[in-house]
Amino acid sequence: MNEPEPMRDHWWWRPGWKVGRSFYTWHITFGDQPGAQQLVTDYAPVLAALPQLDPVPPRWLHLTLQGIGFTDEVLRDDVNRIVEAARKRCAELEPFTVTIGPAHVDPETIQMPARPLEPLAQLRLALRAAIGDVWGPDNVPEPETGFRAHVSLAYSNAAGAAEPLAEALRIHGEHTGKVTVSSVSLINLNRDRKAYEWTDVASVPFGAVAPKS
């Protein structure tokens, strides 16, 4: 078995990011999902024992789907039009269930895969199509290929060997949880405090779900 890549500090400033800047992006959030919240509890003991990790608080647990752009570069009217296009696209979707976990080491995170991939990939394609409805299909940001559906439990805050983290997870044991996905959230995301935090912009339900009040 190959040794995992060394860990890297996740919190380096990626191109375009700086303190005070935020980003419009489509996420699945899990604040009301007991299965996801239980996974945070299940893995909390092992993560708390590893100071080189910053665990994700339950309220900030998320699955990243598709970005739109930095908030200071995207017109709010365009955002509103993209949301309305997404409502039409997502009206054709049905709620689905995915399994999250078990956790594994990634070079910058402790993350859990989400499976099956197909309904998540279809949701992402619907969101990309909604952006294309407003900006044109050739102007949708981020590559269509390479999507890895996952939920991060913790972020690495330092460079170092990955083997101790992988071994700690192995000893701790594997955990999985099921979640039902019935809507998608457009959020205004920032990373000013070495955490991904956001304010909600819009919640778009799938066709079989009544809109949230």
- Each residue's pLDDT tens digit, 39-93: 999 999 999 999 999 999 999 999 999 999 999 999 999 999 999 999 999 999 9
In a domain, 5, yes or no: no
In a domain, 142, yes or no: yes
Helix (H) or strand (E) holding 164: helix 163-172
In a domain, 6, yes or no: no
In a domain, 10, yes or no: no
Q: Is the pLDDT of residue 210 over 90?
A: no
In a domain, 29, yes or no: yes
170 pLDDT band, cuts 50/70/90, is very high
pTM above 0.75, yes or no: yes
| Residue 115 identity (one-letter amino acid) | R
In a domain, 211, yes or no: no
In a domain, 30, yes or no: yes
Domain CATH code at residue 104: 3.90.1140.10
Residues 41-71 as b or e (16 or more Cβ within 10 Å = b) = ebbeebbeebebbbbbebebbbbbbbbbbeb
Q: Could you tell me the residue range of the domain that residue 61 belongs to?
A: 23-205
Q: Is the pLDDT of residue 2 over 80?
A: no
Q: How many structural domains compose the chain?
A: 1
